Amino acid sequence: MNKPFNTFKKISKILFRYDEDARLNLFETFPFIKRFFLNRKNLLYVRSFGDIVFTILIIIGIFGPQDADKNVVLFISWGIWWTSIVLSWFFAGRLWCGFCPFPGLGRIFQHFGLTLNLDVPPFFRKYCAYISVFLLALIIYVEAVTDMKTWPAGTAYLLLSILLGATASAILFKGQAWCRHMCPMGKIIGSASTLSISEFRPDRTKCKTCRTFSCKKGKDGIPGCPVYLGAYNVRNNLDCLVCGRCVGLCESDSPQINIRNPFVELIINKGRHLTCAFIIPFLMGSQIARFVQHQDWYRKVEALFSGSNLIAFSVLLALGFAIFIILARIGSKLFGLTEDEVFGRFSPMIPVIVPLAFTGELVYRLEYFLTNIGDFVPTFGRQFGFALDNLFFSIDSKLIDFICIAALCIGGFACSYVLYLFNSGDFQGILKKKNYISLHFIVFAILSGYIIAFSF
């Protein structure tokens, strides 16, 4: 009878008291989760449902009315779908990738042997991270300058381009090369998942004696890990898609999904991954530019550039990116240690600002969701000829502002907490007191910048 309460207590303890080693194995505690992954039909159903929904969205987006008030594709894509993915980063890590419909068409091609089945060349592996960061930047840029959230066909083209990228790469390469190396969404989801309260990991004691490595190679005609990792190679949340294929392949019951403290991975990695060192400052700079774009005084900025939204936004974006790159570098220098013989180079300021980067993205999406949810059913009515306008409702803009600013403040406090953890752990005795205070000041300045850009 006390079991649910004990589980709740254990989870709360893990989430709210930092302990690098504390974990709760969800496969053991809630066996139905493991059963879900073991029965591959479950994922097939979810993905097939996703395939159907996304096909309909693409068709309606391209061929449906192009008036934003008469096409539900916009709210479903930007309000429901993308906001849910952003929210899922914090709880389920990269789980969306396990259900994602984009690689579906490529998997069908591969199933029928319509693929060159090539290995991904080493140079490609090396430079693809930059390409995917560039593609991510391009998506954010195009979304803002074309006002894609009011352009149904543009939204559909974006979905179509990700689908085409995943399919073309499945025709050329083995497995899901797109997902491992190129997908811009995958990169942002992977980076954000470092802050997740859950992780997909192997039980390393079981992997030590493994001779088959079926999780990576596959067995009995069932292909192995689609992103060439295998459970035994999963050390962070960046690359594993949480597709669960290896759960059924492993003979030793090693893969598991754990609950962990959300700061563990940030503290352990210390900003070691180069892509994060670019994605995070870019994302934060773009958020400031995107928040400002919605303010009345943005018209004055536009007027400075002959009324051009494209130039004004580009300048703000470049400025924001440069400021966050500089702040990340200054911050990392203040730590007094950015290289280690064993660990290599790292940027400790990146994990400090990660919570605000992803809360900022959540706030940007949440504001759109809360502002437009009341018009979703009436829009559906206008598109399909039903009189549903009387079902319109609106959420008070003051309440939306309050929710968004509260979320930003939580993100800011989380940044300060990461600093505290560094100062009382890995950087104890290395980080000077005045630098520690300066770092808190930088965090406070960034949070203030976010609140000003969002509210005024």
By CB under 6 A, name the binding residues for ligand SF4.
Answer: 97, 100, 102-103, 166, 178-179, 183, 185-186, 200, 202, 206-207, 210, 212-215, 225-227, 229-232, 234, 240-246, 250, 252, 254-255
What is the closest distance, in whole angstroms, from the C-beta atom of residue 142 to ligand SF4 in the complex? Answer: 17
- Residue among 233 and 295 whose Cβ is closer to ligand SF4: 233
- Residue among 163 and 284 whose Cβ is closer to ligand SF4: 163
The gap from C-alpha 5 to its chain's centroid, in whole angstroms, comes to: 31
Please state, in angstroms and rounded to a whole number, the distance separating the CA atoms of residues 334 and 435: 6
What is the closest distance, in whole angstroms, from the C-beta atom of residue 60 to ligand SF4 in the complex? Answer: 21
* Residue 71, both tokens: 């096409």
Detail the DSSP E strand segments found in 122-247.
198-201, 218-219, 222-223
Separation of first and last alpha carbons in the chain: 52
- Residue among 73 and 227 whose Cβ is closer to ligand SF4: 227
What is the closest distance, in whole angstroms, from the C-beta atom of residue 51 to ligand SF4 in the complex? Answer: 12
DSSP secondary structure letters along 203-236: -HHHHHT-S--HHHHEETTEE--TTS--GGG--S
* Residue 230, both tokens: 């295998």
Please state, in angstroms and rounded to a whole number, the distance separating the CA atoms of residues 85 and 89: 7
What is the closest distance, in whole angstroms, from the C-beta atom of residue 32 to ligand SF4 in the complex? Answer: 18
- Residue among 105 and 409 whose Cβ is closer to ligand SF4: 105
What is the closest distance, in whole angstroms, from the C-beta atom of residue 41 to ligand SF4 in the complex? Answer: 17
Please state, in angstroms and rounded to a whole number, the distance separating the CA atoms of residues 287 and 440: 21
- Residue among 140 and 288 whose Cβ is closer to ligand SF4: 140
Return phi, psi of residue 199, to 5°.
-150, 150
- Residue among 57 and 246 whose Cβ is closer to ligand SF4: 246
What is the closest distance, in whole angstroms, from the C-beta atom of residue 236 to ligand SF4 in the complex? Answer: 12
CA 144-148-153 angle, to 5 degrees, is: 155
What is the closest distance, in whole angstroms, from the C-beta atom of residue 225 to ligand SF4 in the complex? Answer: 3
What is the closest distance, in whole angstroms, from the C-beta atom of residue 125 to ligand SF4 in the complex? Answer: 15
What is the closest distance, in whole angstroms, from the C-beta atom of residue 258 to ligand SF4 in the complex? Answer: 13
- Residue among 71 and 83 whose Cβ is closer to ligand SF4: 83
Chain position whose Cβ is nearest to ligand SF4: 186
Please state, in angstroms and rounded to a whole number, the distance separating the CA atoms of residues 271 and 121: 26
- Residue among 243 and 408 whose Cβ is closer to ligand SF4: 243
Give the dihedral of Cα atoms 374, 377, 379, 385; nearest 10 deg: -150
159 HSE (CA, 13 A, CB side): 27
Please state, in angstroms and rounded to a whole number, the distance separating the CA atoms of residues 283 and 287: 6
- Residue among 256 and 332 whose Cβ is closer to ligand SF4: 256
- Residue among 225 and 414 whose Cβ is closer to ligand SF4: 225
Q: Compute the Cα dihedral for 258, 259, 261, 265 and give only its sign.
A: positive
DSSP secondary structure letters along 2-26: -HHHHHHHHHHHHHHS--TT--EEH
Give the H or E element holding residue 90. helix 82-92
Contact 326, 349 (CB under 8 A): no
DSSP state of 375: G
What is the closest distance, in whole angstroms, from the C-beta atom of residue 65 to ligand SF4 in the complex? Answer: 28
Contact 245, 200 (CB under 8 A): no
